[in-house]
Amino acid sequence: MTSSRMEERDTDRPFSKDQERHLLRLAKKLFMEHHPNPQRLGCPDHETLKAVAHGSPDLPRARQESVMDHLSICSPCFREFYGYRRGVRFWRRVPVFVGVAALVIVASVLAYDYFGRQGALPREPQTVREEPPAPVYEQASLDLRGHSPVRGESPGIPAPEGTDLVLPRRRLALTIILPVGSEEGAYSIRLGPPGEAAAVTGSGRAEIREGTTSLDVRLDTLTLAPGEYVLGVREEPWPWTEYAVELR
């Protein structure tokens, strides 16, 4: 019978003794440090604190409970109260009207609410989904000045052989230097094999920098096969201008 009752009490116990001690230490730290009350609003006088700390029977129960409520929100009063109670071993001999169970519940709620947000309490491990690394784009440039465009507006026009406009097969942060006289504004880019639809496209805004019109655009040519291609450049909303380029 005795063993059965002990097992029942252990089962009903919400925290182990070590957990209770840990929570009480956290609660004491919270009460003593994190409620500064610089204006000392609602603070009882020293004699009242001392009377509550020593469990004086002359102090009305309602007044004792009011002081205990105040201690939970005023660190200066709690430190003074704790000093009075230090010789009475306050954390092991809590007055009856507070109760160990109530203190543990309050301690757990306050500790987890405050220190959990501060990262002082261990939390359940969370599964973090790893995001794939962002693709790296290599700097490259293509100077169209002095190069004649392919005649026509269709991407199906074959590129002439022997072009000296060369692009690497990479993920490119490409700066295209546009022909002399090109205006600032929004541009579209397309790149595809001669006689076929565009394989990759891009867009950007051209700006005049030191007398040169430059267009920054990202193009991913990594998956394209080496060979001859047609690069189309168009200032919105004008027709396409196309150039023969080689991917290597």
**130: CB partners within 8 A, 6+ apart:** none
218 and 150 inside one domain: yes
- pLDDT, position 212: 92
**Planar angle of CA 220, 224, 227, nearest 5 degrees:** 125
- pLDDT, position 151: 60
Which domain-ending residue is among 56, 90, 118? 118
Domain presence at residue 54: yes
- pLDDT, position 99: 46
Which domain-ending residue is among 71, 86, 118? 118
- pLDDT, position 16: 65
- pLDDT, position 100: 43
Angstrom distance (rounded) from CA 60 to CA 141 = 86
Which band of pLDDT confidence, cut at 50, 70 and 90, is reported for residue 8? very low
144 and 88 inside one domain: no
Domain presence at residue 238: yes
When mean pLDDT is compared across 12-26, 42-56, 75-89, 136-150, the lowest value belongs to: 12-26
237 prior amide bond cis, ω within 30:
yes
- pLDDT, position 107: 52
Angstrom distance (rounded) from CA 78 to CA 208 = 69
- pLDDT, position 125: 56
113 and 145 inside one domain: no
- pLDDT, position 203: 93
Mean pLDDT, the chain, as a whole number?
76
Summarised one tens digit per residue, pLDDT across range 95-120 is: 434 444 455 455 555 555 554 554 54
Summarised one tens digit per residue, pLDDT across range 220-237 is: 999 999 999 999 999 988
Summarised one tens digit per residue, pLDDT across range 124-169 is: 556 677 778 888 899 999 999 988 888 644 444 444 455 689 999 9
213 and 243 inside one domain: yes
pTM over 0.75: no
User: Whole domain around residue 78: which residue ranges?
Assistant: 14-118
Where is pLDDT greater, at 226 or 1? 226
Domain count for the chain, please give it.
2
Domain presence at residue 6: no
Question: Structure tokens of 233?
Answer: 């450049």
26 and 114 inside one domain: yes
CB contact at 8 A, 175 and 138 = no
Which domain-ending residue is among 118, 153, 177? 118
Domain presence at residue 161: yes
142 and 233 inside one domain: yes
Summarised one tens digit per residue, pLDDT across range 183-214 is: 999 999 999 998 888 999 999 999 998 889 99
